[in-house]
Structure 1
Amino acid sequence: MSIVLVSNGPGELATWVRPLADALHRSLLLRPRAPWSPISLRLVLVPCPNATGTEAQVASRWGVFDRITAADQFWPLLLRPGRYGAWPGRGVVVFLGGDQFWSVLLSARLRYRHITYAEWVARWPRWNDRVAAMGAAVRDQLPSRFQPRCSVIGDLMADLSSHARQASPLPEGEWVALLPGSKRAKLCVGVPFLLETADRLAARRPECRFLLPVAPTTSADELVRYAGRANPIAAGYQAAVDALAAPAVDGCGRRLITRAGTVIELQEDPPAHGALSQCALALTTVGANTAELGALGVPMIVLVPTQHLGVMQAWDGWLGLIARLPGLRWCIGVLLSAWRLRHHGFLAWPNISAGRMVVPERVGAITPEAIATEAEAWLSAPDRLQGMRDDLRSLRGQPGAVAALAGEIRQLLPRALSD
């Protein structure tokens, strides 16, 4: 028998898939960690415009999946599952990111039972054996005949904080996290922008120490390239990397040292939740990282520098697809990005969840000098930072959703296998 987790991008893998996979292994003793087990754990990645293409390689390093199917193999898998190994006659498909319809198709093709984890809406309740909802609003939206299939389990990300508390403490200091993103479109802008911001903030506030978690879809060497001549956008910023140095005696990893002498500690062992949870403030791009920071209760400033709209096409949905059309990419990407920014509403996940401005979003032709000034103001006002932290924690909900989802999956297994 198989449990098949279906997902798409790096954020979902780090915050939903990996914690659930670990929980399932603890409760069920699955292959490959338990080679004798009658139940295997598999991962199927689905097509997604926001994926990086390296998700399969990242997941393979964890050693928790018996088999991984890459996103570019999804359609051939639907047509001929046997080409990708033997599939047991019974199993459970678990939706954990992407388009919910892909997991509907896969469960129907494999004739497996099906459960969807729904953050905001469950789109195909008729074809789900169970729906695991983040909140009661998901259940209330369902037609009454499908509501008995739905259980409210809470926010999977709420468990991040309890796991983070087990991490080793960072060296003493006032830590500021820098999160430039995980995709090329964001890194081209985010790396040079945040390096200069760090230089300017360090000049204003010498006691600051900087942490940069390296996304599993990139590397320290690539970050250096994004800060140099290989990235044309970097020419518009004053910061540059002088060296990629070995870890300091009290450091947490290798270090980027800028030309101005600012030291930025790299966290190269993802996920970096334990280290991030100890930071006083984070400077971050938009995306799933805002949800992670919110779940960890880390105050943040969310940055969208619109002076680089020509490369900022990492949008979700049909807008992102159109912005990538060959030949029209630059023109349409700029127009659509400008339109979306003008009508964006909220961009950071804590603000979207709360329906109000919990964390500041800086959208426009922002500069490193302006962001360094604002960051200094926040760091100089610990009461304001604590207020933002308290607001984030109030949105997070109680831990336990990962264990609850693992329990829902166990209920879909034949009783002899789940005991």
Structure 2
Amino acid sequence: MRIHFIAIGGSAMHNLALALHDKGDEVTGSDDAIFEPSKSRLAKSGLLPEEMGWFSAKIDKGLDAVILGMHAKADNPELIHAQNLGVKIYSYPEFIYEQSKNKTRVVIGGSHGKTTITSMILHVLHYHDRAVDFLIGAQLQGFDNMVHLTEENDFILLEGDEYLSSPIDRRPKFHLYKPNIALLSGIAWDHINVFPTYENYVEQFEIFAESIAHGGILVYNEEDPEVKRIAEAAQAPTRKHPYHTPEYTIESGKTLLETPEGPMPIAVFGAHNLNNLAGAKWICQHMGIDEEDFYEAISSFEGASKRLEKIGETAKNVAFKDFAHSPSKVKATTEAVKEQFPDRKLIACLELHTYSSLNAEFLKQYKGALDAAEEAVVFYSPDAVEIKKLKSINKEQIAKAFEREDLIIYTDPEAFKEYLFGKKLNNSTLLLMSSGNYGGLDFDKVQGIL
């Protein structure tokens, strides 16, 4: 096939481009800006556009498909030219469905936990040499790409994102996959720029539960009241399987998972990750992995990139970075780290980086999110607020939202770095939570303060 990507530089888009290139398709693409690591990865495969920008001449009737990324706009000249020529245009999820409509589609949905659960499942399948197609939202050890497509594999494992499909298709991505096997991990209001009310956001998960193919299976987290309500009311699935957080203990900073064979040490920790593990186990069993084989494989799972990823450790101190940015995930991650290292001082740093987290009204959702930490820091960039065209927020609003009088707040990246690298840690745990990079923080240098 000849396939052209409009906005090829995105995280998901460039991985799909690489996957199709590896499969033998002829791939081209355009973008107005491409950053690392997408830039180097595309260049290595000969897919990096020679010039940045949009060029109508790249679109012709000989194309089998144009894949449109969210970064593009509805008035994109390449898109308009493709529409005028009658070339088939797909959103990212539409194309994935088209490639997998004859496979068993396994879709992991939820406001949080979906990347970790998908990573756990993929790790277990890989451990036992079970070949599957997949789409995942983070880099995983042992895998070159975040997307893998073949003609022959029976299963495809998809991380189901509730964000919009494309500039001209306002449906959430996971509405388009029509899963045979689905999982719902948890619901916490997010993406308020797209879903302005909590009720509107929750409705997307109700639609997802009803989109399951006839005779399908829904695995769901029964500890989340909203998920439990949606799952029990869903008419589409033939079978429903609830899961809950398994029993575990912590000894000397190590988590021991209770299994039928006794306590087993695992690399991941925190109640939310153990809950994710329980969901992953159910899905693996539906994909042909028995319980004993699941436990054998999961013991070596070390996590997905930026999901409680250890970035440094000494005898007395340890540092983690985590993608956590939604209030519920920030709270769960902070509490998990404190539970794992109860005798160490926890310094929790959070960057407010997403559209939702920088919204003055949404800030109230963060009440108590950092309470498990002895020292709590919030960083945000007023420039980011301006770029996102949001109403300005101030330190007083943030302090009031978190309801923590000793909250330390930084708005200048250099001032935050001075604070961080000036710390003299002793018997401490440092937790850096963000979907950004604190205005240019080099995480590799954090080891130097431990």
Range class of TM-score, shorter chain? 0.3 to 0.5
1 or 2, which has the higher strand percentage?
A: 2
TM-score by length of 1: 0.35
1 or 2, which has the higher helix percentage?
A: 1
